[in-house]
Chain A
Amino acid sequence: MKILVAIKRVIDANVKVRVKPDNSGVETANVKMSMNPFCEIAVEEAVRLKEQGIASEIVAVSIGNQQCQETLRTALALGADKAVLVKTEDALEPLAVAKTLQKVVEQEEPQMVLMGKQSIDGDNNQTGQMLAALLGWGQGTFASKVDVEDGKVQVTREIDGGLQTIELKLPAVVTTDLRLNEPRFASLPNIMKAKRKPLDEVALADLGVDTASRTETLSVENPPERSEGIKVENVAELVDKLKNEAKVI
Protein backbone atom coordinates (compact mmCIF):
# COMPACT_ATOMS: atom_id res chain seq x y z
CA MET A 1 0.00 0.00 0.00
CA LYS A 2 1.26 3.42 -0.95
CA ILE A 3 0.86 6.24 1.57
CA LEU A 4 0.98 9.93 0.80
CA VAL A 5 1.95 12.18 3.70
CA ALA A 6 1.23 15.88 3.37
CA ILE A 7 3.48 18.14 5.41
CA LYS A 8 3.66 21.84 6.14
CA ARG A 9 6.54 24.08 7.10
CA VAL A 10 5.51 26.41 9.93
CA ILE A 11 7.04 28.67 12.55
CA ASP A 12 8.67 26.34 15.08
CA ALA A 13 6.34 25.38 17.91
CA ASN A 14 8.79 26.74 20.50
CA VAL A 15 9.01 30.22 18.98
CA LYS A 16 6.92 32.92 20.60
CA VAL A 17 5.20 34.53 17.62
CA ARG A 18 5.14 38.31 17.39
CA VAL A 19 2.53 40.39 15.65
CA LYS A 20 4.05 42.87 13.15
CA PRO A 21 3.77 46.51 14.20
CA ASP A 22 1.70 47.32 11.09
CA ASN A 23 -0.78 44.54 11.96
CA SER A 24 -0.37 42.88 8.57
CA GLY A 25 0.59 39.50 10.00
CA VAL A 26 3.16 37.92 12.28
CA GLU A 27 6.95 38.23 12.03
CA THR A 28 8.42 35.45 9.92
CA ALA A 29 11.79 37.01 9.01
CA ASN A 30 14.69 35.29 10.78
CA VAL A 31 12.30 33.04 12.67
CA LYS A 32 13.08 29.33 13.07
CA MET A 33 10.85 27.19 10.86
CA SER A 34 10.12 23.49 11.34
CA MET A 35 7.80 20.74 10.28
CA ASN A 36 4.33 21.23 11.78
CA PRO A 37 4.22 18.91 14.84
CA PHE A 38 1.06 17.13 13.68
CA CYS A 39 2.73 16.45 10.33
CA GLU A 40 5.68 14.87 12.15
CA ILE A 41 3.20 12.50 13.78
CA ALA A 42 1.76 11.70 10.33
CA VAL A 43 5.23 10.91 8.93
CA GLU A 44 5.98 8.73 11.95
CA GLU A 45 2.72 6.80 11.55
CA ALA A 46 3.45 6.18 7.87
CA VAL A 47 6.94 4.94 8.72
CA ARG A 48 5.52 2.59 11.39
CA LEU A 49 3.01 1.21 8.88
CA LYS A 50 5.92 0.57 6.54
CA GLU A 51 7.92 -1.12 9.30
CA GLN A 52 4.91 -3.37 9.97
CA GLY A 53 4.92 -4.35 6.31
CA ILE A 54 1.58 -2.66 5.66
CA ALA A 55 2.87 0.30 3.66
CA SER A 56 5.12 -0.34 0.71
CA GLU A 57 6.01 3.22 -0.24
CA ILE A 58 5.78 6.61 1.48
CA VAL A 59 5.58 9.77 -0.58
CA ALA A 60 5.94 13.05 1.29
CA VAL A 61 4.46 16.15 -0.31
CA SER A 62 4.69 19.79 0.67
CA ILE A 63 3.44 22.97 -0.95
CA GLY A 64 5.48 26.14 -0.59
CA ASN A 65 8.71 27.91 -1.40
CA GLN A 66 12.20 26.50 -1.96
CA GLN A 67 12.86 26.27 1.80
CA CYS A 68 10.20 23.57 2.06
CA GLN A 69 12.84 21.27 0.56
CA GLU A 70 14.44 21.22 4.00
CA THR A 71 11.21 20.04 5.59
CA LEU A 72 10.83 17.37 2.93
CA ARG A 73 14.43 16.24 3.53
CA THR A 74 13.50 15.82 7.18
CA ALA A 75 10.60 13.59 6.14
CA LEU A 76 12.94 11.58 3.94
CA ALA A 77 15.38 11.22 6.83
CA LEU A 78 12.55 9.96 9.03
CA GLY A 79 11.73 7.25 6.50
CA ALA A 80 9.75 8.61 3.54
CA ASP A 81 10.92 7.11 0.23
CA LYS A 82 10.27 10.00 -2.10
CA ALA A 83 9.27 13.64 -1.85
CA VAL A 84 7.33 16.05 -4.01
CA LEU A 85 7.54 19.81 -3.62
CA VAL A 86 4.77 21.81 -5.23
CA LYS A 87 6.47 25.15 -5.58
CA THR A 88 4.75 28.45 -4.97
CA GLU A 89 5.62 31.72 -3.27
CA ASP A 90 1.98 32.28 -2.30
CA ALA A 91 0.54 31.32 1.05
CA LEU A 92 -2.34 29.05 0.10
CA GLU A 93 -5.61 28.75 1.98
CA PRO A 94 -6.76 25.28 3.11
CA LEU A 95 -9.22 24.91 0.21
CA ALA A 96 -6.44 25.66 -2.30
CA VAL A 97 -4.11 23.25 -0.50
CA ALA A 98 -6.78 20.54 -0.62
CA LYS A 99 -7.32 21.10 -4.35
CA THR A 100 -3.58 20.95 -4.96
CA LEU A 101 -3.23 17.76 -2.92
CA GLN A 102 -6.14 16.30 -4.86
CA LYS A 103 -4.06 16.69 -8.05
CA VAL A 104 -1.05 15.07 -6.40
CA VAL A 105 -3.24 12.20 -5.17
CA GLU A 106 -4.58 11.67 -8.70
CA GLN A 107 -1.00 11.39 -9.96
CA GLU A 108 0.44 9.28 -7.14
CA GLU A 109 -2.65 7.12 -6.47
CA PRO A 110 -2.00 6.36 -2.79
CA GLN A 111 -4.32 4.12 -0.76
CA MET A 112 -4.11 6.44 2.22
CA VAL A 113 -3.31 10.08 2.81
CA LEU A 114 -1.92 10.80 6.27
CA MET A 115 -1.72 14.37 7.46
CA GLY A 116 -1.83 16.50 10.59
CA LYS A 117 -5.23 17.50 11.95
CA GLN A 118 -4.22 21.15 11.89
CA SER A 119 -1.20 23.35 11.37
CA ILE A 120 -0.12 25.38 14.34
CA ASP A 121 -0.03 28.64 12.40
CA GLY A 122 -3.52 29.03 10.94
CA ASP A 123 -5.15 26.55 13.36
CA ASN A 124 -7.79 25.94 10.69
CA ASN A 125 -8.26 22.19 10.99
CA GLN A 126 -9.76 21.89 7.49
CA THR A 127 -7.40 20.55 4.84
CA GLY A 128 -7.70 16.80 5.45
CA GLN A 129 -11.48 16.91 5.58
CA MET A 130 -11.64 19.07 2.45
CA LEU A 131 -9.31 16.73 0.58
CA ALA A 132 -11.42 13.72 1.58
CA ALA A 133 -14.59 15.43 0.37
CA LEU A 134 -13.06 16.52 -2.94
CA LEU A 135 -11.84 12.96 -3.56
CA GLY A 136 -15.12 11.45 -2.40
CA TRP A 137 -13.21 9.47 0.23
CA GLY A 138 -13.94 8.66 3.83
CA GLN A 139 -12.02 10.35 6.59
CA GLY A 140 -10.70 9.50 10.04
CA THR A 141 -9.86 12.76 11.74
CA PHE A 142 -8.04 13.38 15.05
CA ALA A 143 -6.67 9.82 15.04
CA SER A 144 -5.14 8.35 18.17
CA LYS A 145 -4.93 4.80 16.76
CA VAL A 146 -4.76 3.48 13.21
CA ASP A 147 -5.18 -0.20 12.29
CA VAL A 148 -5.08 -1.32 8.66
CA GLU A 149 -6.63 -4.66 7.79
CA ASP A 150 -8.22 -6.27 4.71
CA GLY A 151 -8.48 -3.15 2.62
CA LYS A 152 -9.98 -1.21 5.49
CA VAL A 153 -8.65 1.04 8.17
CA GLN A 154 -9.97 1.32 11.71
CA VAL A 155 -9.36 4.72 13.20
CA THR A 156 -9.83 5.61 16.86
CA ARG A 157 -10.61 9.30 17.05
CA GLU A 158 -10.22 11.80 19.87
CA ILE A 159 -13.63 13.42 20.24
CA ASP A 160 -14.99 15.85 22.84
CA GLY A 161 -16.57 13.16 25.01
CA GLY A 162 -13.80 10.56 24.77
CA LEU A 163 -12.83 8.19 21.96
CA GLN A 164 -14.75 7.02 18.90
CA THR A 165 -13.74 4.19 16.60
CA ILE A 166 -14.80 4.09 12.96
CA GLU A 167 -13.97 1.85 10.03
CA LEU A 168 -13.12 3.37 6.67
CA LYS A 169 -12.94 1.90 3.22
CA LEU A 170 -9.62 2.51 1.55
CA PRO A 171 -8.53 4.79 0.02
CA ALA A 172 -9.14 7.24 2.86
CA VAL A 173 -7.72 10.32 4.53
CA VAL A 174 -6.49 10.04 8.11
CA THR A 175 -5.55 13.11 10.16
CA THR A 176 -3.37 12.75 13.22
CA ASP A 177 -3.90 13.86 16.79
CA LEU A 178 -1.22 14.27 19.42
CA ARG A 179 -1.38 10.86 21.00
CA LEU A 180 -1.15 8.73 17.88
CA ASN A 181 2.58 8.19 18.38
CA GLU A 182 5.79 9.83 19.49
CA PRO A 183 7.85 10.81 16.47
CA ARG A 184 11.43 9.56 16.36
CA PHE A 185 14.46 11.73 15.72
CA ALA A 186 16.27 11.30 12.44
CA SER A 187 19.63 9.56 12.89
CA LEU A 188 22.73 11.01 11.28
CA PRO A 189 23.16 8.10 8.79
CA ASN A 190 19.50 8.51 7.79
CA ILE A 191 19.96 12.26 7.33
CA MET A 192 22.89 11.49 5.02
CA LYS A 193 20.88 8.85 3.14
CA ALA A 194 17.96 11.27 2.75
CA LYS A 195 20.14 13.53 0.62
CA ARG A 196 20.20 10.88 -2.09
CA LYS A 197 16.49 10.10 -2.05
CA PRO A 198 14.40 11.53 -4.91
CA LEU A 199 12.83 14.95 -4.38
CA ASP A 200 10.74 16.06 -7.35
CA GLU A 201 9.68 19.63 -7.88
CA VAL A 202 6.61 20.77 -9.72
CA ALA A 203 5.42 24.33 -10.19
CA LEU A 204 1.98 24.96 -8.70
CA ALA A 205 1.01 26.81 -11.89
CA ASP A 206 1.60 23.61 -13.90
CA LEU A 207 -1.02 21.68 -11.94
CA GLY A 208 -3.86 23.82 -13.27
CA VAL A 209 -5.55 24.34 -9.92
CA ASP A 210 -7.51 27.44 -8.98
CA THR A 211 -5.71 28.55 -5.84
CA ALA A 212 -6.87 32.16 -5.72
CA SER A 213 -7.49 33.48 -2.21
CA ARG A 214 -11.09 33.61 -1.11
CA THR A 215 -10.49 35.59 2.03
CA GLU A 216 -8.63 38.74 2.97
CA THR A 217 -6.87 39.17 6.26
CA LEU A 218 -7.74 42.74 7.20
CA SER A 219 -5.56 42.82 10.28
CA VAL A 220 -3.67 40.68 12.74
CA GLU A 221 -3.54 41.98 16.28
CA ASN A 222 -2.25 40.99 19.66
CA PRO A 223 -4.88 39.33 21.82
CA PRO A 224 -6.21 41.45 24.67
CA GLU A 225 -3.61 41.52 27.45
CA ARG A 226 -4.48 39.86 30.69
CA SER A 227 -2.98 41.88 33.45
CA GLU A 228 -0.98 39.98 36.01
CA GLY A 229 -2.93 39.65 39.22
CA ILE A 230 -1.76 39.40 42.78
CA LYS A 231 -0.05 36.73 44.85
CA VAL A 232 -1.92 35.53 47.91
CA GLU A 233 -0.11 34.24 50.98
CA ASN A 234 -2.27 31.30 51.93
CA VAL A 235 -5.47 29.37 51.36
CA ALA A 236 -7.49 31.52 53.75
CA GLU A 237 -6.60 34.67 51.81
CA LEU A 238 -7.35 32.93 48.51
CA VAL A 239 -10.80 31.81 49.65
CA ASP A 240 -11.50 35.28 51.03
CA LYS A 241 -10.56 36.93 47.71
CA LEU A 242 -12.63 34.49 45.68
CA LYS A 243 -15.65 35.02 47.93
CA ASN A 244 -15.51 38.72 48.61
CA GLU A 245 -13.49 40.33 45.82
CA ALA A 246 -14.05 38.20 42.71
CA LYS A 247 -17.37 36.86 44.05
CA VAL A 248 -17.08 33.63 42.09
CA ILE A 249 -17.61 31.14 44.92
Chain B
Amino acid sequence: MTTLVIAEHDNSELQASTYNTIAAASKLEGETVVLVAGHECQSVADQAAKAEGVDKVLLAQAEFLEHLLAEDVEKAVMAQEGDYSHILAPASTFGKNMMPRIAALLDVQQISDIISVESEDTFKRPVYAGNAIATVKSNDKKKVITVRATAFDALATEGGSASIENVSAGSHTELSNYVGEELTESERPDLGTARVVVSGGRGMGNGENFEMLEQLADKLGAAVGASRAAVDAGFVPNDYQVGQTGKIVAPELYIAVGISGAIQHLAGMKDSKVIVAINKDEEAPIFQVADYGLVEDLFKVVPELIESL
Protein backbone atom coordinates (compact mmCIF):
# COMPACT_ATOMS: atom_id res chain seq x y z
CA MET B 1 0.00 0.00 0.00
CA THR B 2 1.22 3.47 -0.86
CA THR B 3 -0.28 6.83 0.00
CA LEU B 4 -0.04 9.84 -2.29
CA VAL B 5 -0.14 13.24 -0.61
CA ILE B 6 -0.87 16.21 -2.85
CA ALA B 7 1.20 19.11 -1.59
CA GLU B 8 -0.25 22.56 -1.00
CA HIS B 9 2.31 25.27 -1.67
CA ASP B 10 2.86 28.65 -3.31
CA ASN B 11 5.68 27.50 -5.63
CA SER B 12 8.30 28.55 -3.11
CA GLU B 13 7.15 27.25 0.28
CA LEU B 14 5.41 24.09 1.34
CA GLN B 15 2.31 25.13 3.31
CA ALA B 16 2.02 24.01 6.91
CA SER B 17 -1.17 22.10 6.05
CA THR B 18 0.91 19.75 3.90
CA TYR B 19 2.99 18.70 6.91
CA ASN B 20 -0.21 17.93 8.83
CA THR B 21 -1.45 15.89 5.88
CA ILE B 22 1.85 13.96 5.78
CA ALA B 23 1.30 13.25 9.50
CA ALA B 24 -2.15 11.81 8.69
CA ALA B 25 -0.61 9.73 5.88
CA SER B 26 1.99 8.33 8.25
CA LYS B 27 -0.82 6.76 10.29
CA LEU B 28 -1.57 4.54 7.28
CA GLU B 29 0.47 1.49 6.35
CA GLY B 30 3.04 1.60 3.57
CA GLU B 31 5.03 4.37 1.99
CA THR B 32 4.13 8.03 1.67
CA VAL B 33 4.78 9.74 -1.66
CA VAL B 34 4.32 13.50 -1.98
CA LEU B 35 3.31 15.03 -5.30
CA VAL B 36 4.48 18.61 -5.76
CA ALA B 37 2.66 19.98 -8.80
CA GLY B 38 3.42 23.59 -9.69
CA HIS B 39 5.63 25.95 -11.64
CA GLU B 40 9.33 26.50 -10.84
CA CYS B 41 8.78 24.80 -7.53
CA GLN B 42 11.98 22.77 -7.04
CA SER B 43 12.43 24.42 -3.62
CA VAL B 44 9.06 23.03 -2.52
CA ALA B 45 10.11 19.53 -3.57
CA ASP B 46 13.38 19.98 -1.64
CA GLN B 47 11.39 20.90 1.48
CA ALA B 48 9.05 17.94 1.04
CA ALA B 49 12.03 15.60 0.66
CA LYS B 50 13.36 16.72 4.05
CA ALA B 51 10.07 16.20 5.85
CA GLU B 52 9.83 13.31 8.29
CA GLY B 53 7.55 10.52 7.08
CA VAL B 54 8.11 11.13 3.35
CA ASP B 55 9.57 8.26 1.30
CA LYS B 56 9.54 9.82 -2.14
CA VAL B 57 8.72 13.13 -3.80
CA LEU B 58 7.25 13.47 -7.27
CA LEU B 59 7.84 16.82 -8.94
CA ALA B 60 5.47 17.82 -11.77
CA GLN B 61 6.33 21.23 -13.19
CA ALA B 62 4.61 23.23 -15.91
CA GLU B 63 3.82 26.89 -16.41
CA PHE B 64 0.08 26.21 -16.43
CA LEU B 65 0.34 24.73 -12.94
CA GLU B 66 1.50 28.05 -11.46
CA HIS B 67 -1.88 28.87 -9.92
CA LEU B 68 -2.91 25.28 -9.21
CA LEU B 69 -6.29 25.55 -10.91
CA ALA B 70 -8.48 22.57 -10.06
CA GLU B 71 -8.85 21.35 -13.64
CA ASP B 72 -5.08 21.35 -14.21
CA VAL B 73 -4.19 19.79 -10.85
CA GLU B 74 -6.72 17.08 -11.62
CA LYS B 75 -4.90 16.31 -14.89
CA ALA B 76 -1.51 16.33 -13.15
CA VAL B 77 -2.68 13.89 -10.49
CA MET B 78 -4.43 11.63 -12.99
CA ALA B 79 -1.21 11.52 -15.05
CA GLN B 80 0.63 9.75 -12.21
CA GLU B 81 1.20 6.10 -12.88
CA GLY B 82 1.75 4.72 -9.39
CA ASP B 83 -0.87 2.51 -7.79
CA TYR B 84 -1.96 4.42 -4.73
CA SER B 85 -4.24 2.95 -2.09
CA HIS B 86 -4.88 6.35 -0.52
CA ILE B 87 -4.75 9.88 -1.95
CA LEU B 88 -4.67 12.66 0.62
CA ALA B 89 -4.76 16.46 0.48
CA PRO B 90 -5.34 19.15 3.09
CA ALA B 91 -8.97 20.19 3.58
CA SER B 92 -8.02 23.79 2.75
CA THR B 93 -9.61 25.72 -0.10
CA PHE B 94 -6.86 24.19 -2.28
CA GLY B 95 -7.75 20.60 -1.38
CA LYS B 96 -11.49 21.16 -1.23
CA ASN B 97 -11.39 22.69 -4.69
CA MET B 98 -9.51 20.04 -6.64
CA MET B 99 -9.81 16.78 -4.69
CA PRO B 100 -13.47 15.90 -5.49
CA ARG B 101 -12.62 16.08 -9.21
CA ILE B 102 -10.02 13.38 -8.72
CA ALA B 103 -12.41 11.29 -6.61
CA ALA B 104 -15.14 11.54 -9.26
CA LEU B 105 -12.81 10.51 -12.09
CA LEU B 106 -11.57 7.55 -10.02
CA ASP B 107 -15.21 6.72 -9.23
CA VAL B 108 -14.51 7.00 -5.51
CA GLN B 109 -16.68 8.55 -2.80
CA GLN B 110 -14.31 11.01 -1.15
CA ILE B 111 -14.08 11.22 2.64
CA SER B 112 -13.85 14.93 3.49
CA ASP B 113 -12.16 16.66 6.38
CA ILE B 114 -11.05 13.69 8.47
CA ILE B 115 -10.02 14.31 12.07
CA SER B 116 -8.70 10.81 12.81
CA VAL B 117 -7.48 7.66 11.11
CA GLU B 118 -9.14 4.67 12.80
CA SER B 119 -7.83 2.06 10.36
CA GLU B 120 -6.87 1.75 6.68
CA ASP B 121 -10.50 2.27 5.64
CA THR B 122 -12.20 3.94 8.61
CA PHE B 123 -12.03 7.59 9.56
CA LYS B 124 -13.75 10.09 11.81
CA ARG B 125 -15.07 13.35 10.46
CA PRO B 126 -17.28 16.16 11.77
CA VAL B 127 -20.76 16.67 10.31
CA TYR B 128 -23.44 19.28 11.02
CA ALA B 129 -20.88 22.01 11.72
CA GLY B 130 -19.08 19.79 14.22
CA ASN B 131 -22.23 19.10 16.24
CA ALA B 132 -21.75 15.40 15.53
CA ILE B 133 -18.76 13.23 14.72
CA ALA B 134 -19.32 10.45 12.18
CA THR B 135 -17.17 7.34 11.95
CA VAL B 136 -17.14 6.42 8.28
CA LYS B 137 -15.86 3.28 6.59
CA SER B 138 -14.98 3.48 2.91
CA ASN B 139 -15.68 0.42 0.77
CA ASP B 140 -14.03 1.89 -2.31
CA LYS B 141 -10.83 0.23 -3.46
CA LYS B 142 -8.96 3.51 -3.36
CA LYS B 143 -9.54 6.09 -0.66
CA VAL B 144 -9.60 9.77 -1.57
CA ILE B 145 -9.41 11.88 1.56
CA THR B 146 -9.08 15.49 2.65
CA VAL B 147 -7.48 16.09 6.03
CA ARG B 148 -8.37 18.67 8.66
CA ALA B 149 -4.91 20.08 9.34
CA THR B 150 -5.53 21.09 12.94
CA ALA B 151 -6.41 17.50 13.90
CA PHE B 152 -2.96 16.09 13.07
CA ASP B 153 0.25 17.31 14.69
CA ALA B 154 2.93 17.91 12.07
CA LEU B 155 6.04 15.70 12.09
CA ALA B 156 9.55 17.14 11.88
CA THR B 157 10.17 19.36 8.87
CA GLU B 158 13.89 18.53 8.72
CA GLY B 159 15.97 15.39 8.79
CA GLY B 160 14.44 13.36 5.98
CA SER B 161 16.19 12.60 2.71
CA ALA B 162 13.60 11.29 0.28
CA SER B 163 14.42 11.05 -3.42
CA ILE B 164 12.90 13.52 -5.87
CA GLU B 165 11.67 12.26 -9.23
CA ASN B 166 10.51 14.44 -12.10
CA VAL B 167 7.16 13.29 -13.43
CA SER B 168 4.57 14.28 -16.02
CA ALA B 169 2.58 17.44 -15.32
CA GLY B 170 -0.40 16.46 -17.48
CA SER B 171 -1.80 19.07 -19.85
CA HIS B 172 -3.55 22.40 -19.60
CA THR B 173 -7.29 22.01 -20.02
CA GLU B 174 -8.16 25.55 -21.22
CA LEU B 175 -11.40 25.11 -19.26
CA SER B 176 -10.31 27.63 -16.71
CA ASN B 177 -7.79 30.46 -16.72
CA TYR B 178 -6.27 32.49 -13.95
CA VAL B 179 -7.15 36.19 -13.94
CA GLY B 180 -5.84 37.59 -10.66
CA GLU B 181 -5.63 37.46 -6.91
CA GLU B 182 -6.12 39.82 -4.01
CA LEU B 183 -4.28 38.28 -1.11
CA THR B 184 -4.35 39.78 2.35
CA GLU B 185 -0.85 40.99 3.18
CA SER B 186 0.04 40.54 6.79
CA GLU B 187 3.15 40.42 8.92
CA ARG B 188 1.27 38.40 11.48
CA PRO B 189 1.27 34.61 11.60
CA ASP B 190 -1.12 32.66 9.40
CA LEU B 191 -4.55 32.25 10.96
CA GLY B 192 -4.63 28.51 10.34
CA THR B 193 -1.32 27.81 12.09
CA ALA B 194 -0.89 30.63 14.64
CA ARG B 195 -0.19 29.67 18.27
CA VAL B 196 -2.50 32.44 19.44
CA VAL B 197 -5.57 33.82 17.68
CA VAL B 198 -7.44 37.00 18.61
CA SER B 199 -10.88 37.16 16.98
CA GLY B 200 -13.48 39.91 16.87
CA GLY B 201 -17.21 39.73 16.33
CA ARG B 202 -20.11 42.02 15.68
CA GLY B 203 -19.48 43.62 19.07
CA MET B 204 -16.42 45.35 17.59
CA GLY B 205 -18.86 47.82 16.03
CA ASN B 206 -16.83 48.66 12.95
CA GLY B 207 -13.68 47.86 10.98
CA GLU B 208 -11.61 50.65 12.56
CA ASN B 209 -12.02 49.08 15.97
CA PHE B 210 -10.23 45.98 14.73
CA GLU B 211 -7.00 48.03 15.03
CA MET B 212 -7.33 47.49 18.74
CA LEU B 213 -7.33 43.72 18.20
CA GLU B 214 -4.35 44.02 15.89
CA GLN B 215 -2.41 45.77 18.65
CA LEU B 216 -3.38 43.02 21.05
CA ALA B 217 -2.39 40.41 18.47
CA ASP B 218 1.02 42.04 18.01
CA LYS B 219 1.63 41.88 21.76
CA LEU B 220 0.88 38.17 21.72
CA GLY B 221 2.40 37.25 18.35
CA ALA B 222 -1.10 36.27 17.34
CA ALA B 223 -3.14 36.08 14.16
CA VAL B 224 -6.37 38.08 13.86
CA GLY B 225 -9.63 36.34 13.02
CA ALA B 226 -13.30 37.25 12.98
CA SER B 227 -16.76 35.79 13.24
CA ARG B 228 -19.01 35.50 10.22
CA ALA B 229 -21.13 38.35 11.60
CA ALA B 230 -18.10 40.66 11.56
CA VAL B 231 -17.17 39.61 8.02
CA ASP B 232 -20.75 39.93 6.75
CA ALA B 233 -20.93 43.41 8.31
CA GLY B 234 -17.89 44.34 6.23
CA PHE B 235 -15.56 45.00 9.19
CA VAL B 236 -12.81 42.74 7.80
CA PRO B 237 -12.18 40.65 4.64
CA ASN B 238 -13.62 37.16 4.24
CA ASP B 239 -10.31 35.39 4.78
CA TYR B 240 -10.48 36.43 8.47
CA GLN B 241 -13.52 34.24 9.02
CA VAL B 242 -13.28 31.46 11.58
CA GLY B 243 -16.14 28.96 11.48
CA GLN B 244 -17.87 26.10 9.76
CA THR B 245 -17.60 27.74 6.37
CA GLY B 246 -14.46 29.72 7.05
CA LYS B 247 -11.20 28.62 8.61
CA ILE B 248 -10.95 25.91 11.22
CA VAL B 249 -8.39 26.85 13.86
CA ALA B 250 -7.09 25.09 16.96
CA PRO B 251 -4.46 27.36 18.53
CA GLU B 252 -3.00 27.12 22.04
CA LEU B 253 -4.92 30.26 22.95
CA TYR B 254 -8.04 31.67 21.32
CA ILE B 255 -9.33 35.03 22.49
CA ALA B 256 -12.90 35.79 21.35
CA VAL B 257 -13.74 39.46 21.65
CA GLY B 258 -17.32 40.66 21.19
CA ILE B 259 -18.29 37.30 19.70
CA SER B 260 -21.61 35.82 20.80
CA GLY B 261 -20.66 32.26 19.86
CA ALA B 262 -23.03 31.09 17.12
CA ILE B 263 -22.85 27.35 16.38
CA GLN B 264 -21.20 28.05 13.07
CA HIS B 265 -18.41 30.03 14.77
CA LEU B 266 -17.89 27.47 17.54
CA ALA B 267 -17.42 24.82 14.83
CA GLY B 268 -14.30 26.65 13.74
CA MET B 269 -12.56 27.18 17.07
CA LYS B 270 -13.79 24.92 19.83
CA ASP B 271 -10.80 22.60 19.52
CA SER B 272 -8.54 25.42 20.69
CA LYS B 273 -6.58 24.46 23.80
CA VAL B 274 -7.49 27.49 25.90
CA ILE B 275 -10.41 29.77 25.06
CA VAL B 276 -10.91 33.24 26.48
CA ALA B 277 -14.20 35.07 25.92
CA ILE B 278 -14.69 38.79 26.44
CA ASN B 279 -18.29 39.89 26.05
CA LYS B 280 -20.55 42.25 27.96
CA ASP B 281 -23.52 39.90 27.55
CA GLU B 282 -23.12 37.23 30.20
CA GLU B 283 -25.73 35.06 28.46
CA ALA B 284 -23.60 34.81 25.29
CA PRO B 285 -23.14 31.14 24.28
CA ILE B 286 -19.39 31.71 23.82
CA PHE B 287 -19.04 31.51 27.62
CA GLN B 288 -20.19 27.87 27.51
CA VAL B 289 -17.00 26.87 25.72
CA ALA B 290 -14.65 29.41 27.28
CA ASP B 291 -12.07 28.40 29.89
CA TYR B 292 -11.89 31.99 31.07
CA GLY B 293 -14.77 34.36 30.62
CA LEU B 294 -14.75 38.08 31.33
CA VAL B 295 -18.15 39.77 31.34
CA GLU B 296 -17.21 43.35 30.58
CA ASP B 297 -17.28 45.98 27.85
CA LEU B 298 -14.59 45.02 25.34
CA PHE B 299 -13.71 48.68 24.73
CA LYS B 300 -12.63 48.89 28.36
CA VAL B 301 -10.99 45.46 28.56
CA VAL B 302 -8.95 45.28 25.37
CA PRO B 303 -6.92 48.49 26.00
CA GLU B 304 -6.28 47.31 29.56
CA LEU B 305 -5.16 43.94 28.27
CA ILE B 306 -2.79 45.55 25.74
CA GLU B 307 -1.42 47.69 28.56
CA SER B 308 -0.80 44.78 30.91
CA LEU B 309 0.98 42.47 28.46
Contacts from A to B (Cβ < 8 Å): 11, 16-17, 19, 26, 93-96, 98, 117-118, 120-134, 136-142, 144, 154, 157-169, 172, 177-179, 213-223, 226, 228-236, 238-239, 241-242, 246, 248-249
Q: Which of B93, B132, B178, B288 contacts A26 (CB 8 A)?
A: B132
List 10 A-B pairs, minimum CB-CB distance, nearest first.
Answer: A138-B175, A229-B291, A214-B109, A129-B100, A133-B101, A130-B104, A126-B100, A138-B176, A162-B183, A165-B179
Distance between A99 CB and nearest chain B CB, rounded to angstroms: 8
B residues in contact with A229, CB < 8 Å: 275, 290-293
A interface footprint on B88-132 (CB within 8 Å = 1, 0 otherwise): 000011101111111111011111110000000010001111111
A94, B253: Cβ atoms closer than 8 Å: no
B158 at the interface (CB under 8 A from A): no
B19 at the interface (CB under 8 A from A): no
B residues in contact with A242, CB < 8 Å: 253, 274, 276, 292
14 residue pairs bridging A and B, Cβ less than 8 Å apart? A127-B100, A130-B110, A134-B104, A138-B173, A161-B184, A163-B238, A164-B178, A169-B176, A178-B232, A223-B133, A226-B289, A229-B290, A231-B282, A232-B292
Chain A residues touching B, majority SS: mixed
A232 to B101, CA, bound (A): 49
B239 at the interface (CB under 8 A from A): yes
Known interface pairs A214-B108, A226-B289; A235-B247 also in contact (CB < 8 Å) = no
A residues in contact with B129, CB < 8 Å: 120, 123
A16 to B128, CA, bound (A): 9
B residues in contact with A241, CB < 8 Å: 292
A residues in contact with B296, CB < 8 Å: 234
B153 at the interface (CB under 8 A from A): no
A223 to B111, CA, bound (A): 18
A215 to B122, CA, bound (A): 9
Distance between A93 CB and nearest chain B CB, rounded to angstroms: 5
A223, B292: Cβ atoms closer than 8 Å: no
Known interface pairs A94-B100, A118-B245, A130-B104; A236-B308 also in contact (CB < 8 Å) = yes
For residue B303, which residue of chain A has the nearest CB?
A: A235
A134 to B137, CA, bound (A): 24
A235, B134: Cβ atoms closer than 8 Å: no
A residues in contact with B113, CB < 8 Å: 123, 125
Known interface pairs A216-B136, A241-B292; A178-B70 also in contact (CB < 8 Å) = no
